[in-house]
Amino acid sequence: MTDFPFIPDDLTEQVIPEVSEDLPVFKEYAFDFEKRELLLKNGRPYLVEKNEALKVWIWKALNPHTERFAYNAYSQNYGNEINTLLARYTENEVKRSELKRIISEALLVNPYIKECNNFVFEQSGSRTSINFDAITIYGKTTNELEIA
């Protein structure tokens, strides 16, 4: 056992969540992405499962308000760094490449998500719309993200 402050012997070693073949079914509260609020049945929030639940988790992880390292309520593995990227790059190809990397890094910490691919970018003024697929243990889910 390592002594406090629990620094790994090999500082170059990345801490990767252990993936188990026996993962429980992924669940999350149903969410209305347009209204940005929980969906209700009989006045109460309800759970969705598998890819529908992962869509909610992905939306929350990529939300601009879920900035990585900004809130103690979230682990350092949760959230995104999109806000730090936006002012840095003006060339679209570089920005797109970095957005792919940041999105993939934000999502691949979830052991239910195996891959992110098929990124499609559309630029309209200062807004960037991004469509991409997340390959999960349940199959493929198509996701959309818009950033200003």
User: Tens digits of per-residue pLDDT, 98-135?
Assistant: 899 989 999 999 999 999 999 999 988 878 899 999 99
Residue 54 within any structural domain of the chain = no
- 45-65 mean pLDDT: 92
91 or 145: which carries more pLDDT confidence? 145
Residue 129 within any structural domain of the chain = yes
CB atoms near residue 26 (< 10 Å): 21
Residue 99 within any structural domain of the chain = yes
Residue 21 within any structural domain of the chain = no
Residue 85 within any structural domain of the chain = yes
17 or 68: which carries more pLDDT confidence? 68
Query: Quick check: 25 pLDDT over 90?
Result: yes
Domain residue limits at 144:
67-148
Per-residue confidence (pLDDT) for residue 14, from 0 to 100: 45
CA–CA distance from 144 to each of 25, 72, 120, 128 (Å)? Answer: 23, 27, 10, 11
Residue 17 within any structural domain of the chain = no
- Counting the structural domains of the chain, the total is 1
Residue 114 within any structural domain of the chain = yes
Residue 36 near residue 45, CB atoms below 8 Å: no
Residue 51 within any structural domain of the chain = no
Domain CATH code at residue 75: 3.10.450.40
Q: Which two structure tokens, joined as six digits, stand for 136?
A: 């999960």
**Segment among 18-22, 33-37, 105-109, 133-137 with least mean pLDDT:** 18-22
- 17-32 mean pLDDT: 80
Q: What is the pLDDT of residues 67-103, one digit of tens each?
A: 765 666 666 676 777 777 666 666 778 888 989 998 9
